Amino acid sequence: MMIFRLVFGLLLVAGLLCFAAYIGTGNPLWRRRGVVLVKWTVLAGLGAVAVLLLERLPAFL
């Protein structure tokens, strides 16, 4: 679970830094990179939730 938290946190920080670079430079390349990173951050979060649900599934059955 700690790996998921680390990946989620690093992706979130990288996305925020890309958006900050876009605001600072006005270059649309940084905005596109930020959007891609946010997309992967959401997918990583969904993966973490899926792992948590699968870990608790035997307790519900």
Residue 7 pLDDT level (bands cut at 50, 70, 90): confident
Tokens standing for residue 58? 């035997």
End-to-end Cα, the chain, rounded Å: 22
Nearest to 4 by CA among 48, 41, 34, 42: 48
Higher confidence at residue 60 or residue 12?
12
Nearest to 16 by CA among 44, 24, 49, 5: 24
Residue 3 pLDDT level (bands cut at 50, 70, 90): confident
DSSP designation for 61? -
Contacts of 48 by beta carbon, 8 Å cutoff, 6+ apart: 1, 4, 5, 8
> How do residues 21-55 score in pLDDT, each as one tens digit?
999 999 999 999 999 999 999 998 998 899 889 99
